[in-house]
């Protein structure tokens, strides 16, 4: 019943030539800056440095698109696995419940027709043929029950495999899927002194997030919220080792749902452009002006 995992990168259209960190957390942020440079600073864009900046933004965008494609293929593999499980469940034969009901009705009638014993308690026993018929009909009902148990077991196995397939897809992402609430003990644990239980839960970090590597406030609160809601995830050590080491060597990397990748410690949030960026590369505050396709440079 188990479904074989499919390598999503084996079916991708776009190729990730080299793993890299990005200047923005999504393609929109880089596209906004690409347009701003061309429209507001055309002379700078024409220089070798400007062309390199534009090429970097373009490469970032295609890299993030390729990373998103890998995730898309994972979702499609999940879809195909579920489709296979559904098909296998549809092929499970329906137990003959109507036959069992008919046998039970006949048995009731036969039992009601037993001759009553006489005053001395003698007689009333069914004939050997009648007993054989009663047993055979009872066995037919038992066979339907056996078939029902088998059908329930096969449905259960497929359902469990569907859950395992979902958990493999979700990984360590902090999706709001209700599983944490289901696994919590009834009534929850005691809250810290002077603190309510909901507040304590809201302040907790998602599993696998290294607190020592989190950026300072107020950026910390924003990225933790994204991690908690599954809009970003900390890459596993195996995944992080595929990236080239940074100035401080190997360190935790965060990947955003739109494909961007940054070292966790340098993640910063910009309220002006509603986007994350790495420390030291603050986005231009007018970036959001270029979100629309036909945006133009502001007058003056």
For residues 222 and 206, give the distance between their C-alpha atoms in angstroms, rounded to a whole number.
13
Query: How many CB atoms lie under 10 A from the CB of residue 129?
Result: 8
Closest to 235 in 3D by CA, of 213, 221, 248, 252:
252
3-state helix, strand, coil in the chain (%, to 5): 55, 5, 40
Does residue 270 fall inside a structural domain? yes
Structure-token pair, residue 78: 């999940």
pLDDT at 46: 96
Calculate Rg over the CA atoms of the chain.
32
My answer on whether 121 and 202 are in the same domain is no
My answer on whether 85 and 208 are in the same domain is yes
pLDDT at 83: 97
Does residue 300 fall inside a structural domain? no
pLDDT at 193: 43
Domain that holds residue 267: 8-91+198-290
My answer on whether 244 and 284 are in the same domain is yes
Percent above pLDDT 70 for the chain? 86
CB 176 within 8 A of CB 232: no
Does residue 281 fall inside a structural domain? yes
My answer on whether 129 and 53 are in the same domain is no
My answer on whether 37 and 85 are in the same domain is yes
Does residue 136 fall inside a structural domain? yes
pLDDT at 184: 65
Residues 290/275/57/169 CA torsion (nearest 10 deg): -120
My answer on whether 12 and 82 are in the same domain is yes
Strand order in the sheet with 232-234: 232-234, 253-256, 261-263
pLDDT at 215: 96
My answer on whether 150 and 232 are in the same domain is no
Does residue 86 fall inside a structural domain? yes
pLDDT at 202: 45
What pTM was computed for the model?
0.76
For residues 114 and 186, give the distance between their C-alpha atoms in angstroms, rounded to a whole number.
54
Which ranges of the chain have pLDDT less than 50? 189-202
pLDDT of 14-30, one tens digit each?
Answer: 877 678 889 999 999 99
| Domain total in the chain | 2
For residues 58 and 163, give the distance between their C-alpha atoms in angstroms, rounded to a whole number.
38
pLDDT at 197: 41
């Amino acid at each position: 019943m188990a479904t074989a995992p499919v390598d999503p990168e084996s079916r991708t259209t776009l190729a990730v030539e080299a793993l890299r960190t990005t200047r923005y957390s999504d393609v929109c942020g880089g596209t906004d800056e690409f347009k701003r440079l061309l429209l507001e600073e055309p002379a700078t864009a024409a220089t070798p440095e400007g062309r390199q900046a534009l090429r970097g933004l373009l490469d970032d965008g295609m890299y993030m698109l390729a990373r998103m494609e890998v995730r898309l293929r994972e979702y499609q593999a999940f879809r195909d696995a579920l489709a296979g499980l559904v098909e296998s469940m549809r092929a499970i034969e329906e137990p003959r419940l109507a036959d069992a009901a008919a046998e039970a009705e006949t048995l009731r009638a036969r039992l009601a027709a037993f001759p009553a014993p006489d005053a001395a308690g003698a007689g009333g026993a069914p004939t050997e043929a009648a007993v054989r018929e009663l047993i055979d009909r009872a066995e037919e009902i038992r066979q339907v029950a056996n078939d029902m148990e088998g059908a329930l077991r096969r449905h259960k196995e497929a359902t469990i495999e569907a859950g395992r397939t979902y958990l493999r897809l979700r990984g360590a992402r902090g999706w709001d899927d209700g599983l944490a609430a289901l696994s919590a003990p009834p009534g929850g644990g005691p809250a810290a002194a002077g603190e309510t239980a909901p507040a304590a839960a809201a302040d907790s970090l998602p599993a696998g997030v290294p607190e020592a590597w989190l950026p300072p406030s107020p950026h910390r609160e924003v990225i933790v919220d994204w991690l908690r809601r599954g809009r970003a995830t900390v890459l596993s050590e195996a995944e992080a080792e595929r990236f080239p080491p940074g100035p401080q060597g190997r360190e935790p990397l965060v990947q955003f749902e739109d494909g961007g990748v940054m070292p966790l410690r340098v993640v910063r949030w910009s309220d002006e452009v509603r986007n994350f960026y790495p420390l030291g590369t603050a986005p231009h505050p007018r970036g959001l002006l270029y979100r629309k396709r036909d945006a133009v440079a502001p007058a003056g």
